[in-house]
Amino acid sequence: MRGKTIRQFLIDGQADGRWISELSNWTGKAYKIPRTYINQCSDRKDLSNTGVYFLFGRNDETDAEQVYIGEAENILNRLKQHLSEKDFWTECVVFISKDNNLNKAHIKYLEKHLYIMAKASKRYEVINSNVPAETSISEMDRAEMDEFIDNMSLILGVLGHKILEPPVNRENNRNSVLFTLQDKASGKPVSEGFVILEGSRIAENVTSSLSKSVMDKRQLLFDKGIVDKDFTFTQDWIFTSPSLAAAIVVGYSINGRNAWKDRNGASLKEIETES
């Protein structure tokens, strides 16, 4: 993989204001806009262009991250509509073309495939009430839009939303070290923490000393169907640390960096500290 250059511009001169993100040698352009700044965006003429957008927020009851994915021929007008129509979101990320060459068919294609990828990654609750319709575009346009999506995914990750990325990229991690815990679960460290892999099992019972916060996280896994009635992970799932992942598996507090072992019996901590 070659290095890439992304330029970030803080429109309002502050980190919690509006951002522009651009990738070198790409015709696309991203805006990150807090909800509270939408009505100040009339000065950005290109936000009247055709494009796609993500509305990001959280579920008030579960604190789960949520997203709504949409398209519009006039992005700013649609965002202003969402100020009154949708309450959950606090921030949006918008993608347009700097040369305004995205048409309606392009953005419908993008919306559909972004929706599919976001649902497949299972990182966010996708709250679109309807599945976006498929659109027919030429083979050449499909190739261009698929490349557009690749660049969008990269910029979204830089902006803190890895919504289009699976917890584990199995193609890129075939040779990475796999760790197991008490023959119950397998997983590996990732940039966001530690991922437990689909098919891993957790203990049926927990100790009374397990903290309430961990028990609540464990229950949430059942409520969301991430762990089924057979105490088995139905998908890959990321935890913020190896210790949290290990506690979920064994049902009691444990140092995950010591507990997770590779196939030779070396702990995660030992491998991390190898010179």
Sequence-separated contacts (24+) of 167-171 with Cβ below 8 Å: 167/121, 167/122, 167/123, 167/195, 167/235, 167/236, 167/237, 167/238, 168/195, 168/197, 168/236
Cα first-last separation, the chain: 26
Nearest 5°: the CA angle 170, 175, 181 is 80
Q: Dump the DSSP string for 139-158.
A: HHHHHHHHHHHHHHHHHHHH
With cut-offs at 50, 70 and 90, classify the pLDDT of residue 2.
confident
Grade residue 175 by pLDDT with cuts at 50, 70 and 90.
very low
CA angle 183, 190, 91 (to 5 degrees): 130
Question: Model-level pTM?
Answer: 0.81
> Domain extents for the chain?
6-158, 179-272
Alpha carbons within 13 angstroms on the beta-carbon side of residue 170 total: 5
Identify the bridge partners of residue 65 per DSSP, sorted by sequence position. Answer: 58
pLDDT tens by residue, 62-108 = 788 999 999 999 999 999 999 999 999 999 999 999 988 899 999 99
Calculate what percentage of the chain has a pLDDT beyond 90: 80
Check: CB of residue 173 under 8 Å from CB of residue 267: no
Kindly state the average pLDDT of the residues 164-193: 79
Per-residue pLDDT for 174 more than 50?
A: no
